[in-house]
Amino acid sequence: MPRQPSFRNNARLVLLATAGALLAFLAVQLLLRKSRDFAPDFLASVLLYGLTVLNLTLLLVLVFILGRNLVRVLMEHRRKVLGARFRMRLLLVFLLMAIAPSVLLVVVGSDIIQQAVDRWFSVDVERILSSSQALGTALRESVADRSRIHARALARAIAARGALTPEGR
C-alpha cells in the first residue's frame, strides 16, 4: 500500500490552499475598495457573517479534534489499556473546558455584536419622518403668509394708482 504524502510534501494541495487563501484575500480587498458603493449595514452584515462563519468553522474543527481523541480513548478503554480511564476523564474535562466557553462566547458574542451594529446603523425613521413633515408644514405656512402679505401690498399699490378703474387703464 503506497504511503500518501503529508500535507507539506503535497505540492498540489499546498498550491490549492495558497490559491484559495489568495482569492479570499483579493475578494476582501475588492469588497473593501468598493465599500463606498455599499450601505454601512450591508458591510456590517457581511463582516459579521464572515466572522460568524470563521468562528463556527474553528469551533467545528475543535469539536472534531476533541471528538476524535474521545473515540481513541474510548477504544483504549474497551481494550483495557493502562491509564485509559484517567485519559478519558482528563479528555472529558478538557472537552468541557474548551467547548463550553467557546459555545458561550459564540452565542453571547454574536448577539452583542449584532445589537451593537443595529444600534450603530439604526435610524429612527419615525422621528425623522415626523420632523421633516413638521418642517415642510412650517415652510409651506411661511411661504403662504409671505405670499399673502405681498399680494395685499400689491393690491394696495394697484388700488392707490387707480389701475383698476376704467380711466386708469
Contact between 77 and 84 under an 8 Å Cβ cutoff? The reply is yes
Across the range 15-26, mean pLDDT stands at: 79
Residue 160 three-state SS: helix
Question: Residue 89: what pLDDT?
Answer: 85
Confidence band (pLDDT; 50, 70, 90) for 32?
low
pTM equals: 0.40
Q: Write the DSSP symbol of residue 37.
A: G
Closest CA to 47 of 115, 121, 114: 114
Taking each helix axis from N to C end, the angle separating 40-78 and 84-121, rounded to the nearest 10 degrees, works out to: 170
Mean pLDDT of the chain: 79
Contacts of 163 (CB under 8 A, 6+ apart): 169
Cβ atoms 69, 91 nearer than 8 A: yes
pLDDT at 143: 94
Cα–Cα–Cα angle for 79, 82, 85, rounded to 5 degrees: 80
Q: Compute the C-alpha angle 64/66/68, nearest 5°.
A: 65
Q: Region 150-162: what's the mean pLDDT? A: 89
Q: Which residue has the higher pLDDT, 160 or 139?
A: 139
Q: What are phi and psi of 123, to 5 degrees?
A: -120, 130
Whether the pLDDT of residue 141 is over 80: the answer is: yes
Q: How confident is the model at residue 153 (pLDDT cuts 50, 70, 90)?
A: very high
How confident is the model at residue 40, as a pLDDT?
60
CB distance 112 to 98 below 8 Å: no
